[in-house]
Structure 1
Amino acid sequence: MRASRILVRRRDFERFLAHAAPSFEEIAGRDARHPERAAVYGFALAPGGRDGGGDRRVVEVFYGTRHLEGRTEYVSRDGLPPRRHHRSVGEWGATLEYQRMDNGTVLCTLSPAGSENFRRHERTVFVEWIRATDRLRSKAMLERHWRLLASYMEVTSLEGEPTLTDRLRVGWVLFTRSRIVGKEYDAAPVRVWIWRLLTFAATVGLSGFLLALVQWIFSAPNPPP
Structure 2
Amino acid sequence: MRLEKNGLPANYFKRYDESDDRGFYLYPRLTAHIDDAASAATSQLFRELLPPGGRILDLMSSFVSHMPPEIAYDEVIGLGLNEEEMRNNAQLNACVIHDLNKQPRLPFDDASFDGAVCTVSVQYLTRPIEVFAEVGRVLRPGSPFIVTFSNRCFPSKAVQIWVNTSDAQHSILVRRYFELASCFEEIVTLDRSPRRWLSDPLYAVVGVTERA
| TM-score between the two structures when normalised by the length of structure 2 | 0.28
| Structure with more of its chain in strand, by fraction | 1
Q: Which has the higher contact order (CA 8 A, sep 6+)?
A: 2
| Structure with more of its chain in helix, by fraction | 1
